[in-house]
Chain A
Amino acid sequence: MPIIEAKGLTKTYRVFQKKDGLLGALKGLYRREYKTVRAVDEVSFTIEPGEMVAFLGPNGAGKTTTLKMLSGLIYPTSGSARVLDFTPWDRQDAFRRQFALVMGQKNQLWWDLPASDSFELHREIYSLPAAQFNATLNELTELLGVQKLTKQAVRELSLGERMKMELIAALLHQPRLLLLDEPTIGLDVVAQVAIQKCLKEYHARRGVTILLTSHYMRDVEALCSRVLVITHGKLLYDGELSGLTERFGDEKIVKLEFAEGTPDDLARFGEVTRTDEFTADLKVERVKIAEILGAILDRHAVADLSVQDPPLEQVIARVFQEGKDAHDAA
């Protein structure tokens, strides 16, 4: 049975349209104009237990709104969802005990107190047995390397350390489902890698299901094999990460090394994205790759070559752009 099942999930908002200037503000006192925004539009998907799925989309695409509906924070305008076999927006205690939501831009720990106090309060709220709580806390602090920081006031921790504490707080009750909304936003590379490593390790140990949104493709590549792509509230793609490149990446990068120096007629084969004395990178249409490689090898002395997919960021940017164009055209 799927751990998450969303069917035609839709959320619309009425947004007040403020008019410019004082006169506009005064008019707004007696007559207000609203615009209906379709933040999430008929989104359907399922996630099986133990999966790690990335939810990708540009800002305002509807990722966070979907996560908030799945966690029961907001009610959908239409559609239905079953999460852990509950209707999330009923917000039953038995449901809330089994999942956690981490938001990279928000802080749920008591700001002026050590994280350990927030963890203790968490234990009380979730009625966790002391032995289980201590064992999980030790495991997580060790995994994230923050054993010595739990007694320090949260406000005195760095952003990366704070995020690690947030993650610990979210995992203390051993949720079966972890919803992560940009957990590495604003973090340096070292902290990002530490969070990724922890999530990977924790997933391997506990088999927790993870649904992650992130703008960092490194997070996605490191953690998820399946992705959901959403733009303008509509689900554009649901499938393997590798399939995303095949479906939307219609170009390949050819890296060439020449034995007798880089020739100056490379532009005829494709778009030259980088060049120096002996090497060059070419962007070539996927369907013409064999033909073009044959032509280059016929004409020039090639010492080495490799064919690569374009970086995931470029593919994603292209997907988002296509989604925007389709939305604008409609």
Chain B
Amino acid sequence: MSSATRYFRLIGSLGRYALARELSFRGNFLAKVSVEVLWLGILLAFYRTIFARTSSIAEWSEPQYLFFVGCFFALNGLIETLFLENCDGFAELVRTGDLDFLLLKPIDEQFLITCRRVDWSTAPNVVMGAAVMVLSLWQMHWAFEPARIVAFFVSFACGVMIAYCFMLMLTSVSVWMVRNQGLMEMWWLFSSLARYPKEIFSHTWADPIGRFFTYILPILLVVNVPSQAMVRILDWRMVGFTLLATIVLFWVSRKFFQKALRSYRSASS
């Protein structure tokens, strides 16, 4: 069995067991799903209110902005489903020493630590986000363009990876800090930055901030590039830059994570 097949099979198994575990606490599962549905509803109602008074926000028309919101929701949902719970729990694994068991397994540590539990309660967000995107495309009478679809999926996947890399670096710090309650706050800051079009940073004083979060800490690429590629301007240079940023960030975050593991002290028994 090839290495890739083995890892795909493992993701499938981990997902299956996580679902079995989640469904054994049915009430909790339903409550979490309800909160996510409510959250999307509030978000859409809020933007509907704004667009009742204006025809565009930062050069994005209402259907285009709807697509942006759907893209953010799907991407954020995917990250939360696959990685957030695992990364958030990493500090606890370090503190209690339970990380020991994960490091003993004959498998890539980064994979096992960051993908071992699938949070199915946020998975409906991906479907809801996709539904919002399809609705917006229908509203704007979007003409089918294969190049845009390719650019969208490539940059969407890169967006997920960029977010994952930031999360991995934030969570790696737990090895030195042991308690890392700031991760969720940092993640909230990250998702707050990612959820708005980068054109909101086009004013004089905000321009350097926009450039910083596009080219240095490329958080603004995460949702902006796939959304732009699909419903606004298809800029292949930007898609290429996003791909390059993803590769560099993945390499840096992996090295950082491995360096952190070298400093792991393991809690005493």
Query: Is residue A75 contacting chain B, with contact meaning CB distance below 8 A?
Result: yes
Interface contact B265-A74, CB-CB below 8 Å = yes
Interface contact B106-A106, CB-CB below 8 Å = no
By a CB distance below 8 angstroms, the chain A residues around B106 are 93-94, 96-97, 125-126
Query: Is residue B207 contacting chain A, with contact meaning CB distance below 8 A?
Result: no
Report if A101-B104 is in contact (Cβ < 8 Å); known contacts: A106-B98, A112-B21, A127-B1: yes
Residue of A nearest to B267 (CB): A106
By a CB distance below 8 angstroms, the chain A residues around B21 are 110, 112-113
By a CB distance below 8 angstroms, the chain B residues around A74 are 264-266
Interface contact A71-B6, CB-CB below 8 Å = no
Interface contact B9-A124, CB-CB below 8 Å = yes
Query: Is residue A73 contacting chain B, with contact meaning CB distance below 8 A?
Result: yes
Interface contact A101-B100, CB-CB below 8 Å = yes
Q: What total of A-B pairs shows CB separation below 8 Å?
A: 73
Query: Is residue A151 contacting chain B, with contact meaning CB distance below 8 A?
Result: no
Query: Is residue A182 contacting chain B, with contact meaning CB distance below 8 A?
Result: yes
Report if A68-B17 is in contact (Cβ < 8 Å); known contacts: A73-B104, A96-B106: no
Query: Is residue B205 contacting chain A, with contact meaning CB distance below 8 A?
Result: no
Residue of B nearest to A67 (CB): B269
Interface contact A68-B266, CB-CB below 8 Å = yes
By a CB distance below 8 angstroms, the chain A residues around B107 are 93, 125
Chain B: minimal CB distance from A96 (Å) = 4
Query: Is residue A120 contacting chain B, with contact meaning CB distance below 8 A?
Result: yes
How far is B266's CA from A113's CA once the two chains are assembled, in angstroms? 26
By a CB distance below 8 angstroms, the chain B residues around A91 are 103, 109
Query: Is residue B49 contacting chain A, with contact meaning CB distance below 8 A?
Result: no
CB within 8 Å of B: which of A106-140? 106, 108, 110, 112-113, 117, 120-121, 124-127
Query: Is residue A181 contacting chain B, with contact meaning CB distance below 8 A?
Result: yes
Interface contact A108-B103, CB-CB below 8 Å = no
Residue of A nearest to B13 (CB): A124
Interface contact A68-B13, CB-CB below 8 Å = no
Interface contact B265-A117, CB-CB below 8 Å = no
Interface contact B269-A125, CB-CB below 8 Å = no
Partner of A13, one of B20, B104, B265: B265
How far is B100's CA from A100's CA once the two chains are assembled, in angstroms? 11
Interface residues on chain B, number (Cβ under 8 Å) = 28
Query: Is residue A103 contacting chain B, with contact meaning CB distance below 8 A?
Result: yes
Chain B: minimal CB distance from A97 (Å) = 5
By a CB distance below 8 angstroms, the chain A residues around B262 are 75
Chain A: minimal CB distance from B258 (Å) = 10
Chain B: minimal CB distance from A59 (Å) = 9
How far is B14's CA from A101's CA once the two chains are assembled, in angstroms? 22
How far is B267's CA from A103's CA once the two chains are assembled, in angstroms? 12
Interface contact A73-B264, CB-CB below 8 Å = yes
Interface contact A106-B266, CB-CB below 8 Å = no
Chain A: minimal CB distance from B32 (Å) = 16
Report if A96-B269 is in contact (Cβ < 8 Å); known contacts: A73-B264, A113-B20, A127-B1: no
Interface contact A72-B265, CB-CB below 8 Å = no
> A162-190, CB under 8 A of B: which get 1 and which 0?
00000000000000000001100000000
Interface contact A71-B104, CB-CB below 8 Å = yes
By a CB distance below 8 angstroms, the chain B residues around A126 are 105-106
Chain A: minimal CB distance from B33 (Å) = 19
Q: Which of A73, A110, A124 has the most CB of B within 10 A?
A: A73
Interface contact A73-B20, CB-CB below 8 Å = no
Interface contact A106-B264, CB-CB below 8 Å = no
**Contacts A65-B268, A100-B104 given; 9 further ones with Cβ under 8 A?**
A13-B265, A73-B100, A112-B25, A113-B20, A113-B21, A117-B17, A124-B9, A124-B13, A182-B269
Which 7 pairs between the two chains have the least Cβ-Cβ distance?
A: A108-B101, A96-B106, A93-B106, A97-B106, A112-B21, A64-B269, A105-B269
14 CB contacts below 8 A, A to B, read: A72-B103, A74-B265, A93-B107, A94-B106, A101-B104, A104-B269, A106-B101, A110-B21, A112-B21, A112-B24, A120-B13, A125-B106, A153-B24, A182-B269
